[in-house]
Amino acid sequence: MLEHDNRTGAALVATLNGWFASGQNMARTASDLHVHVNTLYQRFDRIDRLLGRHWREPEAGLHLQLALRLHSLRTGQQ
């Protein structure tokens, strides 16, 4: 997904970081990211295509959240 964002500027990593930071609240995530809720749905569809829908399951979501957190600590990016 990082490569996809670098190639396309899709901001999928920022979307997931916002999603997890908001407690997985769609309206709050949209507000925090300054995008329309429909934009989030489109981004989540892209994430599903890249990762498969299993990332939404609790354990896979936790692994993804930890990977994103480690990446941000390593690179200093949010």
> What is the C-alpha to C-alpha distance for residues 63 and 50, in angstroms, rounded to an integer?
16
What is the crossing angle of helices 12-21 and 26-33, to 10°? 130
What is the crossing angle of helices 12-21 and 58-75, to 10°? 110
Amino acid 29 reads: T
Backbone angles phi, psi at 68, to 5 degrees: -65, -40
pLDDT at 62: 95
Label residue 78 by pLDDT band (50, 70, 90).
low
Label residue 8 by pLDDT band (50, 70, 90).
confident
Inform me whether the pLDDT recorded for 18 exceeds 90.
yes
What is the crossing angle of helices 37-51 and 26-33, to 10°? 100
Inform me whether the pLDDT recorded for 7 exceeds 70.
yes
pLDDT, tens digit (0-9, with 9 covering 90-100), for 28-54: 999 999 999 999 999 999 999 999 999
